[in-house]
Every structure is written in C-alpha cells, then in structure tokens.
C-alpha cells in the first residue's frame, strides 16, 4: 500500500459558547428544538463537538433550543442502543459519534453498532500527536521509531480505550515499521486525562492522543511532540508529520452526527440541510479556528459510503491487532 490511511477520532471538551458568538438573523429557525444525544461523559471530545454544534446553530438562528442527554461507556456502545431504541423515528434527534465508535462496536462484538443509525454528516477531523516526556531519551520521531522497530514490546504507549483510535494508530505505526502490531505495548485508559497523567508521570515511554489533549503540556515544555498523524501539519503548530519523517502513515480523528433509524427521507434531508447551513456559518468557522479542527464536511450518501469503507478498514486493522476475529 502506497499510503496507509486511517480516519480516527479524539478531542477535548467545549463549554457552551452561543452567547459569545455573533448572531445572524433568520426569518425562522430550521428546527424549533433538537434533541442531542452524546454517548460519552460531559467534557470529552464528542460532548465538545455537540456543544459546538449547539453554539453555532443557536448563534446563527438555525435552531431554537437544544436538549442534551449524555450516556457514557465502552466507546459509545453503552449509549448507542438507548439512542437506537428510544429515539427511533424521531426527526429532530441527533447523536454525535466518530471513529472510536466504529472500533468499539467491533471490539465489543456489540449487537448494536454504528451501522444501526442514520449517517447525516461528517464534520471535523483532528490529527493525533505522538509525545514523550520531556526527559525522554527519545528526542525525535526517528529515535522512538527505531526503538519501536527494534522491540515494540519494550516501548509502552498510553492512549484511550483498547481498540480505539490511539490503539489503532500504534498498530499502524508498528506495521509500517515492519513489526507485528500484536506486539505493541499499549496501555489503555478510559479518559484522555489519565493517559496524559501517565505520560507526564513517566509511567510510559510515549503517548498518543488528539493534539488538544496534549497542547497545554507541549506548550509548557513538559511534553515533547515528535510527530502528528495528519496528511499536513496542524496550522500554526510546528510539529512535522509522520510522512515528512519517512513513516508512511496518515491518520485523522473524525467526528460527525447521526440520526436515529426509522426516520423518513424528508426528515433525513432536513437534518442534512441543517448541518450544511451550520457549517457555512461564521459562528461554526470561528469555532473551527478556536478548536484547531479541520473542516471535512461530507453529507448524505457520500458520507454513508465513506463510513462503510471506514468500517471495513478498521476491522482489517483490528484483526491485525488481534482485537477482531
């Protein structure tokens, strides 16, 4: 394969910002109310995306009010069945999700997966970053990759849940370095904060997460960023990509929104139109810049096709990690 591409997902929380954003006048909102379901705890990446959607949609006059429900656990697999069963046919309900949910469904052998909801739109991507503690002997990605190539089992790497985006990226890196992905010494944590603490405390050799998780500590010098996983550098951030440094792996963490099953074509189109209007708004563009998210809007059948491909590719990577049969 000339280019190993994965679409992954991670992020950080975002407080409601509607009151702080410029308002645009619309004759009437497209939706009086949206029920927003977040299959994760408040303060995480999916919750931050949901709150950003609320802020931009309300500031732009597209939606009157939002009602939120958070149900955390197992990479979205605890909340997903509730959304599928309780919101079925509701044309004003949305769920935020992403590639973590793709891997979690496969890893947990869940009877309800992302295949059971209605894809509406992919919204953002965020590159992952590979970091080491400031005192690490690995000064560059070349140093760390040499250690991974020589003996993956000797290089402990912290990240999110097993089978999630961080774990998949480590497997892809080891594979690109001609090793066996199953040999990776991956240390899984249920939350980004715990993974960050493990790296800061020198409990592991390295860490993988979205840039926003590590940004504060990279800027303070407590962590050293060795590489980002995107096709390009993060705008304004002087961290080289893996490809620039000779490792042919490209990965991006994506987030999007989904409707329940059982909605009509007209309801699906209305939700798609809402997202299309929101991403064009000045309020949303301001939030993209603030959060350093890449705009990768894709809707309708094109998003559904992309999602099906992502599921197939994720399953292949997870098989190579021994996480899927």
Which residue did the predictor score with more confidence, 28 or 3?
28
Which tens digit of pLDDT belongs to each residue from 282-301?
Answer: 999 999 988 878 899 999 89
Would you call 23 helix, strand, or coil by DSSP?
A: coil
Q: Could you give the CA distance from residue 185 to residue 315 in angstroms, rounded to a whole number?
A: 20
Could you tell me the domains of the chain? 31-126+252-320 (3.40.190.150), 128-251 (3.40.190.10)
DSSP string, 193-233: HHHHHHHHTTSSSEEEEEHHHHHHHHHHTSEEEEEE-SSSP
Q: What is the pLDDT of residue 16?
A: 44
Which tens digit of pLDDT belongs to each residue from 108-155?
Answer: 889 999 999 999 999 998 889 999 999 999 999 999 999 999 999 999
Q: Could you give the CA distance from residue 61 to residue 57 in angstroms, rounded to a whole number?
A: 6
Which tens digit of pLDDT belongs to each residue from 62-111?
Answer: 999 999 999 998 889 999 999 999 999 999 999 999 988 998 898 888 99
Which tens digit of pLDDT belongs to each residue from 8-50?
Answer: 333 333 444 444 444 444 458 999 999 999 998 887 789 999 9
pTM of this prediction? 0.78
């Amino acid at each position: 394969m000339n280019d190993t591409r994965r679409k992954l997902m991670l992020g950080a929380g975002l407080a409601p910002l509607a009151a702080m954003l410029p308002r645009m006048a619309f004759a009437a909102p497209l939706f009086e109310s949206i029920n927003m379901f977040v299959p994760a705890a408040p303060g995480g990446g999916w919750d931050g995306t949901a709150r950003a959607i609320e802020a931009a949609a309300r500031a732009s006059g597209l939606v009157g009010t939002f009602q939120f429900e958070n149900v955390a656990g197992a990479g979205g697999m605890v909340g997903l069945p509730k959304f599928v069963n309780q919101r079925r046919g509701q044309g004003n309900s949305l769920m935020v999700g992403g590639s973590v949910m793709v891997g979690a469904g496969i890893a947990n052998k869940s009877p309800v997966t992302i295949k059971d909801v209605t894809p509406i739109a992919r919204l953002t991507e965020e590159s992952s970053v590979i970091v080491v503690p400031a005192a690490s002997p690995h000064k560059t990605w070349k140093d760390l990759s040499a250690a991974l190539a020589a003996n993956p089992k000797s290089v402990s790497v912290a990240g999110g849940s097993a089978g999630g985006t961080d774990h998949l990226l480590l497997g892809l890196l080891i594979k690109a370095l001609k090793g066996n992905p199953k040999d990776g010494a991956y240390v899984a944590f249920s939350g980004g904060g715990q993974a960050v603490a493990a790296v800061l405390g020198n409990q592991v050799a390295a860490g993988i997460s979205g840039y926003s998780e590590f940004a504060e500590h990279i800027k303070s010098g407590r962590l050293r960023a060795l590489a980002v996983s995107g096709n390009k550098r993060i705008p304004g951030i002087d961290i080289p990509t893996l490809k620039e440094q000779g490792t042919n792996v490209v990965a991006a963490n994506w987030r999007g929104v989904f409707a329940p099953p059982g909605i009509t074509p007209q309801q699906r189109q209305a939700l798609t139109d809402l997202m299309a209007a929101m991403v064009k708004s000045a309020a949303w563009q301001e939030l993209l810049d603030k959060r350093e998210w890449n705009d990768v809007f894709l809707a309708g059948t094109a998003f559904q096709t992309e999602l099906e491909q992502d599921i197939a590719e994720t399953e292949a990577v997870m098989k190579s990690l021994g996480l899927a049969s």
